Structure 1
């Protein structure tokens, strides 16, 4: 990013940090849901890892095979790449925030139903 020395693109750097924070918070929400679904820690880890991998890499690939150029951008990767370029668009921010809130809400609902 800094080649030649001292030539840093501030927007790209800040965008990358914001994208990493949003992606990490979304992965944490997915991990919380996986932990709430299973009583076993190893099973929770496997579920969370598979789901995060699928949402980051697999969802865009599957959608492009079935509906090319129609539903692009359902997975994490396209939104992450857009923010990492330094283009902080409200659609990308809203996507990560809404996915995080969705997984936190279903985790909360699952825990509340489990207590009954």
Structure 2
């Protein structure tokens, strides 16, 4: 019999949406039980015209079955550019870290 491993108590994800030549990024944090905590989301963008770093931090409340959206950031990605995102969430002694990387070829 196959048994799935238990889900961690705190889970995060980095979501993205393309809007023209920009990408909109945000974090999603979910928990198995009600959780109140802090997050930090860092976006590093680089490309032919240079690089930039964006850092946002704040508090969140996550409830079972509903992800808390945090740190909405919009960055323009020119052709040949890329971005790296790191989201760290901490609540009730638990930590979740997730990442996303993307690039624009044309």
State whether TM-score is above 0.5. Answer: no
Normalized against structure 2, the TM-score is what?
A: 0.27
Normalized against structure 1, the TM-score is what?
A: 0.25
Which one scores higher on RCO, CA 8 angstroms, separation ≥ 6?
1
Higher helix share: 1
Which one has a bigger Cα radius of gyration? Answer: 1
